[in-house]
Structure 1
Amino acid sequence: MIRFGREEDIEALRRIYNDEVEHSVATFDLDPRTPEEMEEWFRAHHGIHRLLVWEEAGEAVAYATLSPYRQRKAFDATVELSVYVRQDQRGKGIGRALMEKLLEEARRDPGIHTVISVITSENTGSIRLHQRLGFTFCGRIQQAGFKFGRWLGIDHYQIMVDEPEDMAEKGKS
C-alpha cells in the first residue's frame, strides 16, 4: 500500500537508506545517517517535497521522495526524485509503483515543472525504469564520486510534468 510518510516510519526508512549507504552505489553517501539526521531529512519532506512510503504488513519497506534539486530560487519548480526499496522487497514492482504515484502527485502540483533523477551510471535497473516511465537522458558526468575503492559516474534523467502552456507562466515568477 502506498501512503504518505509518517513520523513512525523514520527508523525503517533510515535502515533502508543506510543499507544502501553501506552496501551499494545507489547513493554516494559514505556515512550512515544518524537518527537525528534522518529526522531532519524527514521534516524537510513536505509541500512539494513529498515522501511516499510502501507499507507491507504494517512496516515501511520502500520509499520515494521529491527533494529540492538545487538551493537557488530559480530551481524552485525543479525537484529531484529518489526511490529506495528494501533488499528483500525488490523485483516486485514496488519502486515503479512509488515512482508512478510520485509523478502523478508532481503533475497535480502547480509548483512543479520538472523532475530530475541523478542515477549512478552503472545502475542499469534504475536507468531502464526511468526510461520506461518517460524520463529523458540529459547527460553523464564521468567519475563524479569515489566509493568502494572506485570512481563512479552519474547519469541525469528528466521528465517535464506540466503542460507546455503552463511553462511560460511559471517562468514569470
Structure 2
Amino acid sequence: MMSMNCKIRLARPQDAEELLEIFRPYVLETAVAFNYEPPTLEEFRNTMEDRLRRYPYLVAETEEGLMGYAYASPFKARAAYDWAVETSIYVKQGHPGQGYGRLLHDRLEELLKSQNILSMYACIAYTDHEDTHLTNNSMHFHAHMGYELTAKFPKCGYKFDKWYDMIWMHKEIGSHDGPPSPVIPITALDTTLL
C-alpha cells in the first residue's frame, strides 16, 4: 500500500539524476520505452527543463525518495494542437500497484485542466503476446483512468529481437464546443500549493 506521506510536487533540475535512474531500467530492461540507450544526464535535465517552461512535470516524493514522475509534452508543434498534450508516467520499478501512478496522473490532469488543456494523449508500447520485456499494464492503467483507444500501429518498434506495436489512447478533459480559452503556461499558474 502507498505511503500516506507521498507528496506530489513540481520537479526541480536537481531531481534529474534520481529521475533518470527511474527511467533507465525502462530503457535497458523493457520495451515500454523504445529507446535503445538511456539519455545522458544532461540530455534528461535539458528535456525536463524544456517541459517545465510550459507544462507540469511532477514527482512523487516519499521519505524513501522519488517514487515516480509524470509530465506533459506538446502533442504536436503547430499552434492548432495547443490544447492537446502527450502524457508520460514512470513509476520506480519494484513499486507497482501502490498508487503512485494514479496520484501523479490525477494531479497532472488537474493542472492541465487549469491550463485550459482539453485532451490528454498517451503513446503506449503494446503487444498481443506479453513477455518479460512488455506487459500491457500501461494500457490497462490508462483505460482505468478513463482513456479510450484511438489508434494502433502494428509492429512499428523493434527491440529485444521482437516487433512491438504502439497504441495511442486519449482522454478528453474539457469541452470542445466553440473556441477554446488560451493555454496558460504552467509558469503562470500558482503552483505554490503543490
**Normalising to structure 2: TM-score of the pair?**
0.81
Kindly provide the CA deviation profile for residues 45-89 of structure 1, in whole angstroms up to 9, marking residues without a partner as x. 225421010012162220001011122222222110100011122
Q: Distance in 2 between matches of 1:172 and 1:93?
A: 32
Change over 3 Å in CA distance of 1:162–1:47 after alignment to 2: farther
User: What amino acid does structure 1 have at the position aligned with 2:55?
Assistant: H
Q: Which runs of 4+ in 1 moved over 6 A?
A: none
Which of 157, 161, 164 is the aligned partner of 1:149?
161
Long gaps (5+) in structure 2:
1-6, 128-134, 184-194
**Structure 2 counterpart of 1:136, one-letter code:** E
Higher helix share: 1
- Give distance in 2, aligned partners of 1:32 and 1:109: 31
- Counterpart in 2 of 1:84? 90
CA 1:104 to 1:142, structure 2 compared with 1: closer, same or farther past 3 Å? Answer: same
> Residues 22-59 of structure 1: CA distance to partner in whole angstroms, max 9, x if unpaired?
01111111111101101111111225421010012162
- Counterpart selection for 2:179 from 166, 169, 172: 169
Distance 1:11 1:73 in 2: 32
Residue number in structure 1 paired with 2:191: none
Q: With structure 1 as the length reference, what TM-score do the two structures score? A: 0.91
Name the structure, 1 or 2, with higher relative contact order (CA <8 Å, separation 6+).
Answer: 2
**Shift of the alpha carbon at 1:101?**
1.1
1:12 maps to which residue? Answer: 18
Structure 1 vs Structure 2 CA RMSD: 1.9
Q: Does 1:158 align with 2:163?
A: no
Counterpart amino acid of 1:38? F
**Which of 107, 116, 124 is the aligned partner of 2:113?**
107
Shift of 1:171: 8.9
* Count of residues in Structure 1 that have an aligned counterpart in Structure 2: 170
Letter matched to residue 95 of structure 1: G
Task: State the percentage of identical aligned residues.
Answer: 26
Pair 1:119 & 2:124 matched: yes
Q: Which runs of 5+ in 1 are unaligned?
A: none
Q: Is the CA contact 1:137–1:157 (under 8 Å) kept in the aligned structure 2?
A: yes
TM-superposed deviation, 1:172: 9.9
